[in-house]
Amino acid sequence: MGNEQYGAGGTMTLSTDAPAAWSAKRWRRSSGNLTRVCMILPSVLLLILVIYIPLVLLLLRSFTEVTEGAGPFSNYRGLLASEPVLRSYLTSFWLALATVVVVTFLGYPLAYWLAGIRPRLAAGLMLIVTVPFWTSLTVSVFAFQLVLGRDGPINRLLIAGRIVDEPAKLLFTSFSVLVGFVYIGLPLLVLPLYAAMRNIDRSLCRAAETLGATPTQAFCSVFLPLSLPGTVAGMTLVFITTVGYFIVPQLLGGKSENMIGQYILWTVRTGNDVPLAAAQTVFLLLVVLVVLAVVDWLFGLKRFLSRGNEVG
């Protein structure tokens, strides 16, 4: 054996190289683990300081800072008894869901086309898709105010085409909020969807067609299931981003489009009721977590994500 040696009397002795090699291997493994811990430690600390500690403080304030004699759930009872608050939650969720539907309808064909062209050309076009990430959101929203206003180009085209007789009310409506959300959400869907589609072997669809499937059948039975991880991930990102958004409904929406983010700000500024605002924030977080749990139960997010890793 490589680690065995024979002495002068013919006796076999073990070499000291094996323990030394084992110790060196163990030291390299420990130093590698320490390096990984040091690399992720700043991000973990930042998440704890910026996200988790404030959430814990909000949770505590929503239960502890209550009216004298009231129970710890008094802020939540007041939240559920307020019709304007419940209406703002419903407005937030239906606008977020509508955004997911519109963005998926627009983004899936776009990502499919980008994934099928030359990578260099696709990279250049992806820069155009990610324009919302380059510009200030406030500037973009004010640009939408000009475009959707009574004297904006859309109303001028509608009047010139004799589609309407007078300027249509496009601004400060649900439509204008939806336009702003689609502008924000489209890159959030296209980016993960493009990454998932680029890793799908399109020869699988051609193989299905050689076995007798039509192009539509090959797409629905082969390509669509393989692209579901990216689709579900993108839809989830769009929903989470838009459901609690503030600046877009504040600048593009009207009184009937008050979302929960606006109402939380109103509760703090006008009512000066921070504990109630904390309860509203915690309740929104819980509802979002419930929605994600339902989506996971219906579509199996963990299964899709693991399948996406296998495809990649």
**pLDDT tens digits, 100-147:** 999 999 999 999 999 888 888 888 888 888 877 788 888 888 888 888
Q: What is the pLDDT of residue 97?
A: 93
> Does the domain spanning 90-255+301-311 belong to CATH 1.10.3720.10?
yes
Cα(312)–Cα(307) distance, integer angstroms: 9
What is the pTM for the complete model shown? 0.79
Q: Enter the tokens of residue 163.
A: 């589609």
Q: What is the pLDDT of residue 232?
A: 86
Sign of CA dihedral 144, 146, 149, 152: negative
CA 267, distance to chain mean position in Å, is 27
Q: Enter the tokens of residue 273.
A: 């009721």
Mean pLDDT calculated for residue range 163-172: 86
Q: What is the pLDDT of residue 94?
A: 92
Longest Cα–Cα distance in the chain: 113
Question: Do 158 and 164 meet the contact criterion of CB atoms below 8 Å apart?
Answer: yes
Cα(157)–Cα(175) distance, integer angstroms: 18
Q: Give the phi and the psi of residue 56 in degrees, each rounded to 5.
A: -65, -40
Domain boundaries, the chain: 17-59, 90-255+301-311
* Orientation angle between helical segments 224-243 and 274-299, nearest 10 degrees: 170
The residues with which 12 forms a beta bridge, in sequence order, are: 6
Mean pLDDT calculated for residue range 271-284: 86
Q: Enter the tokens of residue 301.
A: 């997010």
The residues with which 5 forms a beta bridge, in sequence order, are: 13
Cα(67)–Cα(10) distance, integer angstroms: 90
Q: Give the single-character DSSP code of 224.
A: H
Give 292's contacts (C-beta < 8 A, 6+ positions apart): 236, 240, 301
Q: Is the pLDDT of residue 66 over 90?
A: no
Cα(114)–Cα(275) distance, integer angstroms: 48
Burial class (CB within 10 angstroms; exposed 0-12, middle 13-18, buried 19+) of 308? buried
Q: By C-alpha distance, which of 216, 175, 187 is closest to 125?
A: 187
The secondary structure of 206-218 as a DSSP string is: HHHHHTT--HHHH
Query: Which has more confidence, 109 or 276?
Result: 109
- What are the Cα distances from residue 227, in Å, to 69, 115, 128, 200, 308? 55, 11, 22, 8, 8
Highest mean pLDDT among 37-41, 98-102, 233-237: 98-102
Q: What is the rounded (10 degree) CA torsion for 224, 229, 230, 232?
A: 100
Q: Enter the tokens of residue 30.
A: 């420990």
Query: Which has more confidence, 181 or 38?
Result: 181
Residue count (the chain): 312
Mean pLDDT calculated for residue range 228-243: 88
Q: Position 69: which residue type?
A: G
